[in-house]
Amino acid sequence: MNIIFYTVVISVIIYFIVKYIANISSKKLSKGIRFILILGLILFAILFALGGRFLLSLPLTLASLALLKLKGLSIFQIISLFRLIQTLRRNGRFSFNNNQNKNSSNLSVSESCKILNLDENKKTILVLGGSLGAKSINEGILNNLSIIRESSFQVLWQTGDYYYDHILSKKIEEKNLVVKSFIKRMDLAYKVADIIISRAGAIAISELSYISKPLILIPSPNVVDDHQRKNANEIFRNGGCLLVEDKDAKDNMLNQAINLLDNSEMKIKMKKSLGKLAKPDAAKNIVSKIYEQI
């Protein structure tokens, strides 16, 4: 019923428009068309000035690509893909500049320590367990609070959202321990870290290799095909990290970190090895391959 109604309405509107055009002179018609074109261009310009950032945004581009399940690449897909590439190029998370400094933040170590509530005069162990956290890594800290309390170093500890409230309930107030559920400014955390303790996921490995700081990897056993162990073993085989089993983290993790802090020779070796394994131009190379296909 709605279709019939809309059809009748549209037909009536078209009828009156045609009748109006038929009753006016060609001179008036040309002026009218010119006016409509100018008005349309102005409205089009205003639309893109106000809404262009959304209309050409990355989420909308990705949604558009997902809807177009066509074989090959249409013109629209090529344009959308180009917009995606341009967005990635402007995104600070990805490095397309060969001369870009590895420490992306322009802040000094002293300023970074101040933002993270750390003491710039102490060595820092950065402990990461992913956004949700890692039980074994968290236990490795909780089980050694007395050592941290009496130490000359400090720990920046990302507990993960899942464990954060539970850990806060223990009323931990160690002067050498900064506890966070999630670290938003990872560039600052990487900058101040002397040693990093982490899981061994692919993204973590790529970042940590690029940062090239002395590293202790604790692969999660609860992943598909045990892929974190394979990642960690490759880094370990090339001398880029120490490897601690998940089941041993509670008792062994912090002791390994303390020993590494005092081993300058091993730290230098790790930095060099990680630097060789790093792929700083990975995003640029991927984009180049995409360009080759289009």
- CA angle, 272 then 276 then 278, to 5°: 115
Instruction: Write down the pLDDT at residue 31.
Output: 72
d(CA 177, CA 158): 11
d(CA 159, CA 140): 11
Q: Which CATH class is domain 111-277?
A: alpha beta
Residue 90 burial by CB count (10 A; 0-12/13-18/19+): exposed, middle or buried?
A: exposed
Residues 6+ apart with CB under 8 A from 243: 216, 217, 219, 232, 233, 236
Please report where in the chains the tokens 């020993």 appear, as a residue: 259
Kindly give the pairing relationship between strand 195-198 and strand 177-180: unpaired
Nearest to 179 by CA among 145, 136, 216: 145
pLDDT digits (tens, 9 = 90+) for 39-85: 777 776 676 666 555 555 555 555 555 555 444 556 666 666 666 66
CA dihedral sign of residues 122, 128, 132, 136: negative
Instruction: Write down the pLDDT at residue 19.
Output: 72
What does the pLDDT profile of the chain (294 residues) look like in tens digits? 556 776 777 777 877 777 776 676 666 667 777 777 777 777 766 766 665 555 555 555 555 555 554 445 566 666 666 666 666 555 544 444 444 444 456 889 999 999 999 999 999 999 998 778 899 999 999 999 989 998 999 999 999 988 999 998 988 888 899 999 999 899 999 999 999 999 999 889 999 999 999 999 999 998 888 999 999 999 999 999 999 999 999 999 999 999 999 999 999 999 999 999 998 888 888 888 887 876
d(CA 43, CA 22): 27
Nearest to 200 by CA among 137, 265, 272, 266: 137
d(CA 264, CA 259): 10
Helix (H, G, I), strand (E, B) or coil at 69: coil
Please report where in the chains the tokens 């370990």 appear, as a residue: 236
Kindly give the pairing relationship between strand 177-180 and strand 215-217: unpaired
Phi first, then psi: give them for residue 98, nearest 5 degrees.
-60, -25
Q: How many CB atoms within 10 Å of residue 104?
A: 14
H or E, element range at 178: strand 177-180
Instruction: Write down the pLDDT at residue 100.
Output: 46
d(CA 13, CA 230): 69
Q: How many CB atoms within 10 Å of residue 215?
A: 30
Nearest to 247 by CA among 216, 221, 217, 224: 221
Question: pTM for the complete prediction?
Answer: 0.64
Instruction: Write down the pLDDT at residue 290.
Output: 81
Helix (H, G, I), strand (E, B) or coil at 19: helix
